[in-house]
Amino acid sequence: MSRAALLVLADGRFPAGGHAHSGGAEEAVKAGRITGAASLEAFCRGRLHTVGLVGAALAAAAAAGADPVELDAAADARTPSPALRGAARRLGRQLMRAARAAWPSDELDALAGEFPKGAHQPVVLGVTARAAGLGAQDAAYCAAYESVSGPATAVVRLLSLDPFEATGVLARLAPELDLMVDRAVAAGRAVPGEGVDVLPAASGPLLEIGAEAHAGWPVRLFAS
Amino acid sequence: MHLDHAHSAPSAVSADAQRPDGTRRALRIGLGGPVGSGKTATVAALCRALRDQFSLAVVTNDIYTREDAEFLLREAVLPPERIAAVETGACPHTAIRDDISANLEAVEDLEDEVGPLDLVLVESGGDNLTATFSKGLVDAQIFVIDVAGGDDIPRKGGPGVTTADLLVVNKTDLAPYVGSDLARMAADAKAQRAELPVVFQSLRSEAGVADVSAWVRARLAAWTA
Ligand SMILES: Nc1nc2c(ncn2[C@@H]2O[C@H](COP(=O)(O)OP(=O)(O)O)[C@@H](O)[C@H]2O)c(=O)[nH]1
Ligand SMILES: [Mg+2]
């Protein structure tokens, strides 16, 4: 297992389209639910325990060799909002491009062929981890971390939040992130034997509703 | 865990001149430069000048989404299905240089949906003088500044002014009103750019976009040769 490959994949500058997505933070800022570091932390904690956990488990399962087509359907079932499904598939397609350039692999080619318009991003992330020689835990860490780092970066831009405060939020969430990853990996590793129903199905209704509202705004900075 | 060393298929990367089906993809030209310099107006004029002869599409990268796309739609320079808007997360230069994924996707979707295309114009949201397009996204780039932004911009240089394949100094009709010295701008641009071409234009004049569209035609001829 290559720790260096994990750094490449987890790098916030990995060119896979994430910079244009706020993970619901843009809508939450406008609705007054994120106003500073404390409410950003609460928002990120909520994401980590819901979409973060689910995404990490999907990524772990894909990295453990579960069928990506079944995982993609499981991701759809766990994503009620059409806007969020669309965003997840767009990000999956964008990650696929970067992944195929970085770690060419037959499994990535096959997945791209199966989903020309994109599979759910965590599924692509798990298959990418395999192609990079990484494991289920690595994939889960990437997914869980992205679920909170995206909104934190976005809020630095949206509220001109002090970037040191935003990074402090992420550092304080790290121990909880470790716990989520443990749960996600246990579930993800069980999928090849027991099927996708063992995956967690936590969701944040306000994130889903907010995403639908955000998609209807005429003017916005972030794609989701 | 498996590292697939045996992989041999071409990795679908951005700058490939070929589409997956083996046909040649459209030429992609980026238009960058400061906000308000006339990028959208130049795109609109180029579409009017070239659309009868070539199959065109436009991708816009607004700072706030869709304003430029909506202007082009209102002006009806192309049918709506040929205009796509990309969201840039408050960082227009990132979307055209550091992480070009969303723009590439927009370009490819246009080719899939309304293609075959000869030319895709990609307009940057415009922020500052350092923003340039990645070679993974465009084949050539036009940097648009205007005389009203200060006649010292060519002297100051920066990657856009210095390295763009074509520098356009727009709104020459305003030069007398803002006290810009066009001869000095031309000399400074020459000093920064050596042999790279510079066009002075006013879209309010009779000639309009003629010089830029002639340059684009030459690039198209070279691309399809
Ligand atoms: N006077 C004059 N105005 C122009 C010219 N070209 C563009 N404009 C105007 O400048 C403003 C900004 O142009 P726009 O194309 O939206 O700039 P962009 O932000 O670079 O896309 C608009 O009001 C245009 O009508 C020109 O050659 N002369
Ligand atoms: Mg514009």
Where helices occur in chain B by DSSP H, the ranges are 39-50, 67-74, 92-93, 101-114, 153-156, 159-163, 175-178, 182-193, 210-224
Q: What is the pLDDT of residue B197?
A: 97
| Average pLDDT score over residue span B6-26 | 67
B11 pLDDT higher than 50: no
Predicted ipTM > 0.85: no
What total of structural domains would you count in chain B? 1
- What confidence category does residue A181 fall into, taking pLDDT thresholds of 50, 70 and 90? very high
B125 part of a folded domain: yes
Q: For residue A104, what are the domain limits?
A: 3-7+18-215
Structural domains in chain A (count): 1
Question: For the whole model, what pTM was predicted?
Answer: 0.89
| CATH for B72 | 3.40.50.300
Q: Give dist(CA A41, CA A45) in Å, integer.
A: 6
Segment B119-135 mean pLDDT:
87
Q: What is the mean pLDDT of residues B142-162?
A: 91
Cα-to-centroid distance, A105 and ligand 2 (Å)? 40
Is B83 contained in some domain? yes
For all residues of chain A together, what is the average pLDDT?
Answer: 96
> Could you read off the pLDDT of A66-123 as tens digits, one per residue?
999 999 999 999 999 999 999 999 999 999 999 999 999 999 999 999 999 999 999 9
- Nearest CA-CA distance, residue A203 and chain B, Å: 24
Residue B87's pLDDT is what? Answer: 86
What's the longest Cα–Cα distance across chain A? 47
Does the residue A224 lie in any domain? Answer: no
Is A30 inside a domain boundary? yes
Predicted confidence at residue B89, as pLDDT, reads: 83
Q: The domain spanning residue A206 has which CATH number?
A: 1.10.4190.10
Residue A107 pLDDT: 97
Structure tokens at B125: 């949201």
Contact between residue A136 and residue A185 where contact means Cβ atoms under 8 Å apart = yes
**Position A13 in a domain:** no
Omega of the bond prior to A116 within 30 degrees of 0, cis? no
Q: Is the pLDDT of residue B176 over 70?
A: yes
Asked whether the predicted pLDDT for residue B189 surpasses 60, the reply is: yes
Which residue minimizes the CA distance to atom 6 of ligand 1? B38
Per the structure, the complete domain to which residue B28 belongs is given by 22-224
CA distance B217 to B198: 16
In a domain, A220, yes or no: no
Per-residue pLDDT band at B15 (split at 50, 70, 90): low
Residue A181 domain-assigned? yes
Chain B CB contacts of A127 below 8 Å? none
Q: What is the pLDDT of residue B13?
A: 52
For range B83-95, the mean pLDDT: 87
* Within-domain flag for B109: yes
Q: Hey, what long-range contacts does B191-198 have (CB within 8 A, 24 or more apart)? A: B191/B155, B192/B154, B192/B155, B192/B157, B192/B161, B192/B162, B193/B161, B193/B162, B193/B167, B196/B163, B196/B164, B196/B165, B196/B166, B196/B167, B197/B165, B197/B166, B197/B167, B198/B166, B198/B167, B198/B168, B198/B169
CB pairs under 8 A between A and B: 99
Confidence (pLDDT) at B1? 45
